[in-house]
Amino acid sequence: MTTEHNDIPDIFKNVAPRENSEAEELQQRAQAVIHSLAESYLDNVHTQIHDLKRGIQEARALSGEERVATVKNQIFKPAHDMKGQGTTFGYPVLTALGAHICALIRSGKMCDESMLNAFEADVADMETVIKFPAYSDNEILAGIRKRLEENA
């Protein structure tokens, strides 16, 4: 039984559906690229966490403008990368943690021990998120979210 659709203009009624339109092909290719990037994402996160730890350690050994420069040059970039990529690959808490580090750096506050301690806490939380990804939306991360809200 065929139903006539009077609300469809005649020009569209006789158009045969295409198996794969150009837009569908582009979407499939984009999804393949994202899937490929997602596979290497966790490797990149481990590298970024390592870079953050090294930057914090180096900053602790310095003071004044040297410490500020180290924080801006060695801690900001990996934190900013995590902020930008976390949600895309299913880790919104990594985005929040990266954003927290970036906000602390941008705040213009002195790079004192309390700021470095906050960075270390954020990095420890990042490691927890990566170690227990199945709990991303559960109790473990509720504490992280609460700490971030309290320190915002």
Dump pLDDT digits (tens) for 32-75.
887 777 778 888 999 999 999 999 999 999 999 999 999 999 99
Contact present, 71 and 59 (Cβ < 8 Å)? yes
- Taking the C-alpha atoms of residue 99 and residue 137, their distance in angstroms, rounded to an integer, is 18
For residue 98, tell me if it sits in a domain: yes
Question: Rounded to two decimals, what is the model's pTM?
Answer: 0.72
Per-residue b/e over 68-77, b at no fewer than 16 CB within 10 Å?
A: bebbeebbbe
For residue 115, tell me if it sits in a domain: yes
Write out residues in the chain with pLDDT < 50, as ranges: 1
Q: What's the pLDDT at 43?
A: 86
For residue 29, tell me if it sits in a domain: no
For residue 5, tell me if it sits in a domain: no
Q: What's the pLDDT at 6?
A: 56
Q: How many domains does the chain have?
A: 1
